[in-house]
Structure 1
Amino acid sequence: DLDPQANLTLGLGVEWDQLTCALNDVLMDPDAVPLVTILQQIGDLPLYLAPGHLRMADCEVMLMPAADRAYRLRNALEALGADRRFDWVLIDCPPSLGTLTQNAIVACSHLLIPTEPKYYAFEGMRTLNRMIVQLSRALRFKVETLGVLLTLYERGTRLHKDISDEIRKMFGDKVFNTVIYKNVRLSESEYAGQPIILYDRRATGAQNYEALAEEILARATQ
């Protein structure tokens, strides 16, 4: 969880204010705090969280003088290479292109760009896409966009349909076929601090995310 808001951490039932160490500590001093030491298993799932913290925002400023500031997460992940527990690493980052997001881009092989079918989100995504291209050139690091994900989609809303159509025109087959529909059970699962797959597997939101997982696997293994 690279986002200073730590919503992913809270949504998985981990209280950031109870943590002794979090991902910000790994980025600041990876030798003193190896990534593996902060991982927390989520329930009985084969899912591990590297928790975020509000202090993550401090990394944006404190890492600026470091020559390797954009490579801290990549180096930390490489140290996990021999750990057979992990097949996939998903990185949640803030919607900006500061030091934290730079770390995510350098560390990953593919980008998944979520967006709401709203005008400001649409314009922001266009800007973000251009900036990602510029950043990858500046850092001399190639990253591929795996897909664009439409989220919080409201059925029967003309505006959402129109903007979704525009997004599909712009990004073509990069847009996932799966759409995450607005669903109260998703909000409830966040409040309960549980993944939707544990909270209510029959919910529309759970079915949407299961379909997305299958589509991601199919694309990533092509």
Structure 2
Amino acid sequence: MKRVIAIANQKGGVGKTTTSINLSACLAEAGKKVLVIDTDPQGNATSGLGLDKDECENTVYDLVLDQCSIKECMYSVENIPNLTIIPSNVDLAGAEIELLGINEKEYILRNAVDYVKDDFDYVIIDCPPSLNMLTINAMTTADSVLVPIQCEYYALEGISQLIHTIDLVQERLNSKLKIDGVVFTMYDARTNLSSDVVDTVKNNLNATVYQTIIPRNVRLAEAPSHGLPINLYDPKSTGAESYRNLAKEIIGRKDL
């Protein structure tokens, strides 16, 4: 089954991009054809997969402004068969203003992705840490939203607003949108706080919680600076094993 998953949480630093990079790489490693769309102007998913974001001729920015076709801004990721990325860079920060007055601007990304969606098993969209037009475009394109939640005191801050936004998009723009589920990140087994956060979310959030919990892991933090996903940077690390397990869970989902 082909699926488009937006990875979103307007709170920064919760592991959205880390999850986008490593989940995509592990899905590709499992033999799935994967397209990553970087809709964050910081372009961290782009550089984390080894592309020089300032050297890419065509990016998401050019795509949403109709300056190129979707196939013209797709790049194969080196060393990872089955993985393709549509990159981003700081140019995208100005796109929202440039889209003012454009009709149907909420559907620009969806209309583009429709041309290539059947070529991939999974399309993973890395969203910016805000609820702006780029995030709305991601949600109108997606079948479901995967929400990374950091295991820390402020974990639930903003989640209710995100769920409200998902509900609004579902009601007005994309009736098929679902919450894919929650994945816990930066889990520290040495602290009571991490387990308390997991329990609180499970008890208060009406959404699937993935069994796989991503640990706080030094190798995961190091990998992006080398332009590699964790399954290439340190294939035997706990971080790599965790994202492989998450990929298996997602592949095994039958309810979406």
Gaps of 5+ in 1: none
Q: Matches of 1:152 and 1:219 in 2, distance apart?
A: 23
Written as runs of structure 1 = structure 2, the 5 A alignment for 1:60-209 is: 60-81=96-117, 83=119, 86-171=120-205, 174-209=208-243
Q: Matches of 1:89 and 1:98 in 2, distance apart?
A: 20
Change (3 A) 1:221 1:43: farther
Specify which structure has the bigger relative contact order, considering alpha-carbon pairs within 8 angstroms and separated by 6 or more residues: 2
Change (3 A) 1:220 1:75: farther
Residue 41, structure 1, aligned to residue 98, structure 2: no
Asked if structure 1 preserves the Cα contact closer than 8 Å seen for 2:139 and 2:174, the reply is: no
Q: What's the CA shift string for 1:116-161, capped at 9, x where partnerless?
A: 0223231212221122212322325330111101011111211111
Q: Matches of 1:131 and 1:56 in 2, distance apart?
A: 22
Change (3 A) 1:114 1:81: closer
Aligned residue for 1:213, secondary structure, equals helix
Residue 210, structure 1, aligned to residue 244, structure 2: yes
Asked if structure 2 preserves the Cα contact closer than 8 Å seen for 1:111 and 1:146, the reply is: yes
Q: What's the CA shift string for 1:193-218, capped at 9, x where partnerless?
A: 10111111101000000000011111
How far off is 1:44 after superposition? 3.3
Change (3 A) 1:82 1:116: closer
How far off is 1:108 after superposition? 0.7
Aligned residue for 2:151, secondary structure, equals coil
How far off is 1:10 after superposition? 1.1
Gaps of 5+ in 2: 1-37
Asked if structure 1 preserves the Cα contact closer than 8 Å seen for 2:185 and 2:213, the reply is: yes
**1:16 aligned residue (46, 53, 65):** 53
Instruction: Determine the structure 1 residue equivalent to 2:25.
Output: none
TM-score of the superposed pair, with normalisation by structure 2: 0.81
Change (3 A) 1:38 1:220: farther
Q: Matches of 2:144 and 2:174 in 1, distance apart?
A: 15
Aligned length, in residue pairs: 218
Q: Matches of 2:107 and 2:194 in 1, distance apart?
A: 38
- Counterpart of 1:76, as a letter, is A
Aligned residue for 2:185, secondary structure, equals strand
Aligned residue for 2:184, secondary structure, equals strand
Change (3 A) 1:220 1:108: farther
Aligned residue for 1:119, secondary structure, equals coil
- Counterpart of 1:147, as a letter, is G
TM-score of the superposed pair, with normalisation by structure 1: 0.92
**2:91 aligned residue (24, 48, 55):** 55
Aligned residue for 2:154, secondary structure, equals helix
